[in-house]
Structure 1
Amino acid sequence: MSGGQGLSRRLWLVKWWLLAMPHFLVLGVIGVGLRGLSALLTLFAGVSLLFTGAPRTPHAPPGGRGDRR
């Protein structure tokens, strides 16, 4: 077995890693971005609950005038 043949057998691993690395970086950035957005929305929901005292109901009209008879 010559030295070049053993190198070419492992070369596909190097090529695969070099081609996959940009994809891993992009997925990592997207994942961090989604976690940041999730944290921001959670913080916004917590602050709104702190000031209003109650969660919004999805079917209530704006202004809360739906329970008057």
Structure 2
Amino acid sequence: MSRKDNCLDNAMAENIFGIMKSEFLYVEKFESVEDFVKVLEEYIEYYNNNRIKSRLKGRSPMQYRTLYLSC
């Protein structure tokens, strides 16, 4: 749980939601809630396993975690 009046506690989640909105939510049109859930699951899979981030030295989040845990 975040501390009262501390915006830094939610910074990571807010960053991910902002990226998701700009890359996924505002770009797509959904026919139904089920369609939205299916496409959202696909986007989360893409974000974690395939999306390259320069902050992670050109790796996806999953690749970076795997490398970090293997050291």
Higher relative contact order (CA 8 A, sep 6+): 2
Tell me if TM exceeds 0.5.
Answer: no
Task: Give TM-score scaled by structure 2 length.
Answer: 0.30
Larger Rg computed on CA atoms: 1
Q: TM-score, normalised by structure 1?
A: 0.31
Greater share of residues in helix:
1
